[in-house]
Amino acid sequence: MPVITISLNDLKSLVPHKLTDTQLQDLLPQIKVEVDSFGPELVLEVTPDRPDLFSAEGIARQLILWLGLQKGLPRYTIKSSGIRITTKHPTVRPFMISAIIRGLDLTGPALESLLRLQAQLDATLGRNRRTVSIGLHDFSKTKPPYIYQDVAPTAVSFVPLDSKKEMTPAAILMEYPKGKEYAHLVPRNCPLLTDKNGSVLSFPPIINGELTRVKETTKDLLIDITGTDQLAMEQSLNILVTALAMRGGKIESVAVDKKSFPTLEPQRLTINKHTIMQQLGIDLKNSELKELLQRMGYAVTAVQETFTVLAPPYRADLWHPVDVTEDVAIAYGYNNLTPVHPNLFSVGHAHPLETFCQRLRELAVSMGFIEVNTFALTGNEPPLNSLSGKAIDLENPMSSETSTVRTNLLGSLVQVFAVNKHNKYPQRIFELGDVVQLNQQAETKTDTKRYLAIGIAHQTAGFSEMLSVLNGLNTTLGNPWKIGTTTDPGFLPGRVGAIKLGGTVIGRFGELHPAILADLGLEVPVVVCELFVEPLVPQPRNQAGKS
C-alpha cells in the first residue's frame, strides 16, 4: 500500500474542528487510512484505490465530510484563464491536460505537501510516470500560449531542474539522473512543452525546466499533465486542483486544443437503496441513507428506492455502484455492523487427497520418520539435478538456488540430509509435498502433483531397509504396487527399484549414488524413495465432491 508522510499539525489545521490525537488515531483507519507511525510527522498507509487521500488536504477533506462539518458534494468554481495550449500530438505521450491555480500561499508545509502528492500520484495512478506524469510550474515565469510537441533530441537545450547548465534532451537522457531513470519512456522523439518565448517549461515525463521552478513564493501555479491514459490523467488533475483548493487556491481552466481542463465534472451513479441494504444487512430510512451518503461527499436525489448520486470529481475508485455501498458502510461505521449468522447449511469435506495424505503421514510417523517441509523453488545444479527431469525455469528468479520449480521431491529431501550433517544419526525423514511436472495437454502446461518422499541416512543404511519400509506401506495400503527393476543416474547401479502401479511407474527407490553423497559432503549412505501419491488415493464413495 502507498505510504505517505504528512505533518500532524498541518492536518489538524486543515480541519476546522479540534481533534485529539486519540480521536485521530481511531478515526483514520475508519476512512481507509492506516497509521504506521503517529507523531509530528504522520506516516500513513493509504489503500491504493483512494489516491484522493494521498495528501493532508485530501485526508482533511474526508474527515470534514465524515464528521459532518460540511455536507454533500464539495463544489468548485472554475474560472476560464483564457490561456491555450496547442498540442501537436507527440508520438509517445500524445495527451496533455492542464490547469492554473491562482492566489496560493505555499509557505509552511504547503509546498512540501504539494510536491509529495505530485510524486505519489506519478508513482501510483501514473504507474511510475508511464501513464500519467505531472509537471508543476511557477506560472509567472512563463509566457503563454504554450505548445506541446515532439522535438528532435538535440534540437533545443534548456537548464533542467536542479541543474546549472543547459542540456539537450538527448544529453538529459544520457547524463541526468532522472533522465537515465525514465529514458525508457521516451524511446524516439522527445515531447516538450514550450512557451511563447520558446523557453522549455517541461520535458515530460522526465524533468521540468529550472526556469519555472515552484518555490514557497510561488503564488500562481501552472499544472501540466501528460500521458497515455486519459482517465487517469483527469483523475490526477482533479485530485491536485481540489487539494490546492483546500489551501485557498482559485482554479482556472486552460484550453488544450479544443477542450478545456479541468472539468471537475461530478460522477453520476444510480444506486438502488434495496440493493445497498441487502449488501450491508441493515435497514435504513431514505433520510438516513441520504445522510450517510452526504457524509462521504455525495450529492443525493432520491426517488423512492432509486438514489441518484453525484460523486466528488476527485474520487478515482468508483467503478460500480457497489463502491458506493462501501462508502455507505464507511459512513455507517464498519464496527457498527453487527455479526449475524446466515442460515446456510452445508456438509464439509476435506479434499480426498488431503485425507489420504494424512493417513500416509500417520503411517510414516508410526514407522519412526520425522516429517519435513521444504521450499519448492530450487536450483538446477549438480549434483541434485541428476535426480530431476526437465527443469521448469523461472523468468525472474532471485538467485540460482531458487531458479526453478521442483519437478520431484527427492532433491528437496536429499538437501535436508546435506544441511543436517552435524545432527545425530540415524536420520529418518519424510515429506508429503507438491511438485510441478510438464504436461503439454494441461491448461497450465504443467500438473501439480503430490509426492511422498522418504529418506534414511546412517552408518549402515541400505537398500533392504528402504524396501522393508515400502513393503510395510504397501501391505497397509492393500498391496497396490509391485517392485520392478529400473536404471537411474541418481542411484548406485543395480540398487535402484521402480514402484509400479499396474503398468505405470509411480515411484523409485534405492541407494543414492555415492558421487552425489561425496559432492554433498555426506559421509553416511543414504537410501531414499519417492512416490506419486494421487493414483493411490481411494475413490470417494457416497460423495459427489469433485477434486
Q: How many CB atoms lie within 10 A of CB 546?
A: 6
Q: How far is the CB of 52 from another protein (least distance, A)?
A: 13
Query: Across the strands, what pairs with 371?
Result: 430
CA–CA separation, 500 and 484 (whole Å): 7
Site string for another protein, 394-413 (x = CB under 8 A): xxxxx---x--x--------
Site stretch for another protein (CB under 8 A), options 80-88, 103-111, 324-332, 472-480: 324-332
Near another protein by CB under 8 A: residue from 444, 475, 487, 539: 444
CA–CA separation, 45 and 4 (whole Å): 6
Handedness of CA 75, 288, 13, 60 (dihedral sign): negative
Told to check if 325 binds another protein by CB under 8 A, we report yes
**Cell numbers linked to 140:** 509567472
SS3 state of residue 514:
helix
Say if residues 306 and 341 touch (Cβ distance below 8 Å): no
Positions 234 through 293 that interact with another protein (CB under 8 A) = 278-282
Q: Which is nearer to another protein, 245 or 432 (CB)?
A: 432
- Any residues with CB less than 8 A from the CB of 457 and at least 6 apart, and which? 417, 425, 426, 427, 428, 522, 524, 525, 526, 527
CA–CA separation, 126 and 235 (whole Å): 10
Site string for another protein, 116-145 (x = CB under 8 A): -----------x---x--------------
Q: How far is the CB of 127 from another protein (least distance, A)?
A: 6
CA–CA separation, 126 and 123 (whole Å): 6
Strand spans (E) along 444-490: 446-457, 482-485
Q: How far is the CB of 158 from another protein (least distance, A)?
A: 31
Q: Is the peptide bond before 160 cis (omega within 30 degrees of 0)?
A: no
Q: How far is the CB of 328 from another protein (least distance, A)?
A: 9
SS3 state of residue 453:
strand
Q: How far is the CB of 185 from another protein (least distance, A)?
A: 14
Candidates 131, 208, 137; CA nearest to 169 is 208
Told to check if 303 binds another protein by CB under 8 A, we report no
Q: How far is the CB of 477 from another protein (least distance, A)?
A: 18
Site stretch for another protein (CB under 8 A), options 3-11, 160-168, 293-301, 345-353: 345-353
Number of residues that bind another protein (CB under 8 A): 95
Told to check if 429 binds another protein by CB under 8 A, we report yes
Told to check if 464 binds another protein by CB under 8 A, we report no
Q: Which is nearer to another protein, 104 or 418 (CB)?
A: 418
Q: Which is nearer to another protein, 429 or 517 (CB)?
A: 429
Q: Which is nearer to another protein, 197 or 319 (CB)?
A: 319
Site stretch for another protein (CB under 8 A), options 169-177, 194-202, 215-223, 439-447: 439-447
Q: How far is the CB of 342 from another protein (least distance, A)?
A: 4
Near another protein by CB under 8 A: residue from 3, 155, 174, 438: 438
Query: Across the strands, what pairs with 447?
Result: 437
Strand 427-438 and strand 370-371: the pairing is parallel
CA–CA separation, 388 and 409 (whole Å): 9
Site stretch for another protein (CB under 8 A), options 201-209, 342-350, 497-505, 523-531: 342-350
Positions 509 through 528 that interact with another protein (CB under 8 A) = none
CA–CA separation, 146 and 527 (whole Å): 78
Q: How far is the CB of 396 from another protein (least distance, A)?
A: 4
Told to check if 458 binds another protein by CB under 8 A, we report no
Positions 147 through 206 that interact with another protein (CB under 8 A) = none
SS3 state of residue 34:
strand
Say if residues 197 and 95 touch (Cβ distance below 8 Å): no
